[in-house]
Structure 1
Amino acid sequence: MIFSKEDNAKELIETIVTCSLIELDGFPLFYKLEDNISFLKRLFSDCSDFVIREFKLNNSVNAILVFVDGLIDTKEVNQVLQTLMVLENGDDDIHVIEKALLPVSQITKVNEYNNLLQAVLSGTTGILVDGNDEGLTLSIQGAEKRSVNEPEGEAVVRGPREGFIENIRTNTSMLRRKLKTPRLKMKSLVVGRESSTNINLAFLEGIADPQIVEEVSRRISNIDMDAILEGGYIEELIQDSTYSPFPQVMYTERPDTVAGALLEGRVAIFVDGSPMVLIVPATFWMMMQANEDYYERFQMATLVRWLRYLFLVIALLTPASYVAITTFHQQMLPTTLLLSIAAARESIPFPAIVEALIMEISFEALREAGIRLPKAVGQSVSILGALIVGHAAVHAGIVSSPMVIVVSITGIASFTIPHFNAAISLRMLRFPLMIAASILGVYGILVGVMVLIGHMANLRSFGVPYLSPIAPMSVGDFKDILIRAPWPVMENRPSFERTHDVRRMDDGFANQVQQGGGQDGGP
């Protein structure tokens, strides 16, 4: 619907009473203050937290402040009222009020209800004056918010201890402290018909590929949904392959991780109300890297990465391999080990695949219960399940001791994956691989692994191949995949990100250090 200032105010008020902010796009502010008051009271009827504070400018001109109780700083609102009430005669024009000595850092002019209410419902305060078809929004937010703490899901031994919170402006300020440059851009979007969720796209101009930035913005702008309550909504709506089990969007609650991703040419997506920041494009190898890899010496970081890849294979293939070997390929085991496993399974009434499914499902249930319950109770459930129930199941002849060992090793291995969404993918993929192993043995595992690798090679994340730089191969980018090369060697950013500024540091830095005489004891 298209609105104009010439439309009759009463007819417009009767036409639009209950609507979303998107439906108010183009709806103008009224000249008469009584029409604005009437419209706002009808639009926000039965909204006890929406406040319309009427007052007079210099005891002559009617005006109102509109705000949401609980989202503003009451003391600052009172100071604004005191300042406006003592303006000089003739200061009833909104442009004069804008230039008045108000105790506010940011003042914005608005002439449509969509913009006014979007700002007010986000925590600002609106001013409307009789005889003006424009209003002002004052940035005097004061809502309660959680303090900045260390992220529980991404704890480190060495590195910053701060994590994002649910307030988007606090989160962007934490990133700004990491990257003090005007090249750090924050593109603002609003998504959700009812929630009107604020979203910021962060990228480094001159480093990030403009086409990727534009594609991310286009996908988010095209979302037509009633509400966006968390970043997971955005993640699932913008990813390239919806039905793939592999995550194509990375998320983190650490500002240093976001800063590092932006320096490699990626785009960060901040969602108001979520402490998780999305990062695109994402590759499989990103999921195997932790921010602490870049804070420790490269030898230690490389060793830890090799351990992660080893435990990745263990977490994915160990249960399936146990099922395949004990069912079809007993000759692959040493005789002593085979006899030990056969003796342990002698009283088990189930085949290996059923035994494996019982243990894996029970383990996943215990892990989920430990997460959902309060911390103290969750620890008790974990101890109860691991020690008492597991021990009793073995003695009752439901499962064998070797299977308990296999599932335990698998669970421990999955905990070494740095990113939770990648670990979940591995936990899901274990089950089809176990079923394939129970049908075709080792050949079923090989077929399943080939299907997974082929699927991953076919995946894209905003145009970037999911297995880059392994497939397609880019030898120059191997410095930060299977190993973590020393910083003096990693002069360039990843080439598969299509960054415009490929140089990360001066390539002569290492030579300058050595030529300075540090190793020879010179000056």
Structure 2
Amino acid sequence: MTDVKENVKKISADIRENERYIQERCENCADILIRPMRLGDERKVDCLMVYIEVAVSNMMLDDSAIGKMINHFWEIPPEKIPEFMQNNSLGIADVQKLYDMNEVLGAVLSGNAVFFIDGYDKAMKISSRGYPNMGVSEAESEKVLRGSREGFSDSVKTNSALVRKRLRDTRMKVEEYQMGVRSNTVLQILYIDDLVHEELLEQIKERIEEYEIDGVLDSGMLEQLTEESWYSPFPQYQVTERPDRAALELLNGKVVLLCDNSPSALILPGSFSGFMESSEDWYHHFEMASFLRILRYLALLTAMLLPGLYLAVIRFHTQILPANLLLSFAEAREGVPFTSVTELILLELAFELIREAGVRVPGALGNAIGIVGGLIIGDAAVSANLVSPIVVMIVALTALGSMVIPDEEFASAFRLMKYGFLFLGGYLGIYGIVLGIYLLISHLSGLLSFGVPYLVPFVRKHSVSRVGDGIWRIPFKKRQYRPVYAKKEQSLRLKHKAQTTDAETEKEAQNEVRRK
């Protein structure tokens, strides 16, 4: 990789030298504006403003505190301006001192304005609203019936502010990094200081600094660079577009990773049970939330095993079916020119094409293609005697099962597993299905996400019912302890005030007895 970094050049007290350097570095950059001006009594002091045209508006410069400071320069003598900058600039505006040209260019390219003044060997970074973005909108991929409608935006600053809005505690830390030699993409690591394990935090920072790349354009690139088991189809990061979900996981002792220009947050470490949960699970009553979780696990098994089980039964184990059902299957397949394995694979691939076409076609037309295309192709295939009606039902149920899984990337892994079980069931029968389940559980048991077992809490001695992270969601009043991700000394998350008061009173009484 070509190293684009140069030797650090200090800011000169001669403003013309600074202007020449910036013009040389920003040659043919029409979007970067270099605006010279003269300020002070009788307009004797030269100044320079450098900013990106769209990121910093003229209205911001006119109406902000720094704009008022610049207007004040017209009323004071020229020799007093550097002293005024030194003593007062940081007190009246959101301004930061810059000491070299790399900092200046980095600030400008981040969407801020930079102010130079002749005779002063530092520059002032003036914070602005930054680059245009879509703003806060509703999360599209994580629809809920109850809970906040806010979703993350493309601005990393806005995203961390949305999380801070929900956790107004100075113990929630936000550390900022830059990644990408050419893109200089801003990354933020969010965690709660007294909950997160230091080993986890250090491991995450080491992974981020392990690679040097020319550009990071989305959190998905960062995820693929830093995951340990890159060969596994199962995601080791949990992706969310919801600030309330990110805040909830921070309270559990996890770490949230935000990437500029990406409307998704990465939650780590990831776990099997976490991918099967929805943020509204903790907003519903525990009976309904538990029922929905059980339904999701059943949908997961359907999406992964149903095609393979169908083939295993009709090809090898027909004796387990009632005679009437077996005759119905045989009658439905009469005249179909393909084998049952080929028939199922063709229809599954046809549905994948419809799904992909529905995603790529914009607007409501994409939804229409998914529904109408599925109906037309399925009906036409049955009418032409290319597939049997039962196979259309199997494929439809499998697709519905994959759509019930809350996390799209996690569901995609089981969509791939489905084809493996399809071949195992089609050529080895039930024994192939059992072999596939054994291999899958073995893989998941050995999978780690930043040192944490992927099957937590199912593989730990820590009781599942104690924290409600398993299939069954306990009542909210009984959720007294945090999951295993948080420090042991901070495991208690809920206590009754009356019980606390009684315990404190008893302790004071015991101390009084000791004193006497």
Whether the TM-score (by the shorter chain) exceeds 0.5 is yes
Are residues 405 and 511 of structure 1, via their aligned partners in 2, closer, same or farther at CA, if it must alter by over 3 Å? farther
Partners of 1:87 and 1:164 in 2: CA distance: 46
> How far, CA to CA, are the matches of 2:234 and 2:36 in structure 1?
55
Structure 1, 136-145 or 385-394: larger mean CA deviation: 136-145
The answer as to 2:45 corresponding to 1:61 is: yes
**Structure 2: distance between partners of 1:474 and 1:25:** 54
Q: Kindly state the Cα deviation for residue 379 of structure 1 after the two structures are TM-superposed.
A: 2.3
Displacement of 1:73 in angstroms is 2.9
Output one character per residue of 1:102-160: Cα deviation in whole Å (capped at 9) or x when no partner. 89642111112222211111111111223333211011225432232221111111111
Contact kept? 1:308, 1:416, Cα under 8 Å: yes
Instruction: Output the CA distance in 2 between the equivalents of 1:343 and 1:510.
Output: 69
Name the counterpart of 2:328.
340
**481, 484, 493: which is aligned to 1:492?**
481
Instruction: Tell me whether 1:280 sits opposite 2:280 in the alignment.
Output: no
> How far does the alpha carbon of each residue in 1:299-336 deviate from its partner, in whole angstroms, 9 at most, with x for none?
11111111111111111100111111122222121111
Per-residue CA deviation, residues 57-110 of structure 1 (Å, 9 max, x unaligned), is: 3122222111011011321223524344444332342x6315446896421111
| Residue 87 to residue 456, structure 1, CA distance change in 2 (3 Å) | farther
- Structure 2 residue identity aligned to 1:501: Q
* Residue ranges of structure 1 left out of the alignment (5+ in a row): 1-17, 513-523
Residue pair 1:329, 1:441 contacting (<8 A) in 2 also: yes
Q: Which of the residues 308, 324, 327 maps onto 2:315?
A: 327
The 2-side partners of 1:509 and 1:24 are apart by 64
Relative to structure 1, the CA distance from residue 142 to residue 242 in structure 2 (aligned partners, 3 Å threshold; closer, same or farther) is closer
State which drifts further: 109-118 or 495-504: 495-504
Match of 2:143 in 1: 155
Q: How does 1:125-144 map to 2 (within 5 A)?
A: 125-141=113-129, 143-144=131-132
Alignment of 1:240-259 (within 5 A): 240-259=228-247
CA 1:439–1:25 in structure 2 vs 1: closer, same or farther (change >3 Å)?
Answer: farther
Taking a change above 3 Å as real, the CA distance of residues 179 and 307 of structure 1, as seen in their structure-2 partners, is: same
1:394 correspondence with 2:376: no
- Counterpart of 2:398, as a letter, is T
Give 1:30's aligned amino acid.
S
The alignment of Structure 1 onto Structure 2 pairs a total of residues equal to 493
Whether 2:227 is the aligned partner of 1:239: answer: yes
Deviation at 1:171, TM superposition (A): 1.2
Match of 2:169 among 178, 181, 184: 181
3-state SS in 2 of match to 1:201? strand
Q: Which SS does the other structure have where 2:256 is aligned?
A: strand
Superposed, 1:467-478 pairs within 5 Å as 467-475=455-463, 477=466
Per the alignment, residue 158 of structure 2 pairs with 170
Say whether the 8 Å CA contact 1:208–1:500 is kept in structure 2.
Answer: no
Q: In structure 2, do the counterparts of structure 1 residues 498 and 351 end up closer, same or farther at CA, with 3 Å as the change threshold?
A: farther
Cα-to-partner distance string for 1:156-191 (whole Å, 9 max, x where unaligned) = 111111111111111111111100111111000011
% identical aligned pairs? 33
> Equivalent residues in 2 for 1:32-431 (5 A)?
32-58=14-40, 59-79=43-63, 80=67, 81-93=70-82, 96-100=84-88, 105-141=93-129, 143-431=131-419
- The amino acid that maps onto 1:169 is K
AA of the residue aligned to 1:173 = A
Provide the C-alpha distance between the structure 1 equivalents of 2:148 and 2:244, rounded to a whole number of angstroms: 7
User: Is the Cα contact below 8 Å between 1:231 and 1:274 reproduced in 2?
Assistant: yes
Could you say what secondary structure the match of 1:156 adopts? coil
Match of 2:492 in 1: 503
TM-score, structure 2 length as denominator? 0.91
Alpha-carbon distance, 1:238 to partner: 1.2
Q: Which moved more, 1:79-88 or 1:503-512?
A: 503-512
Q: What is the TM-score normalised by the length of structure 1?
A: 0.90
Give the Cα separation in 1 of the matches to 2:269 and 2:480: 21
Equivalents in 2 of 1:496, 1:241: separation in Å?
20
Distance 1:509 1:148, change over 3 A: farther
Residue 11 (structure 2) aligned to one of 29, 41, 58: 29
Structure 2 segments unaligned to the other structure (5+ residues): 502-516
One-letter code aligned to 2:244: D
Q: How far apart, CA to CA, are the structure 1 residues paired with 2:193 and 2:250? A: 10
Distance 1:465 1:84, change over 3 A: farther
Q: Hey, what's the Cα distance between the residues in 2 that align with 1:492 and 1:203?
A: 18
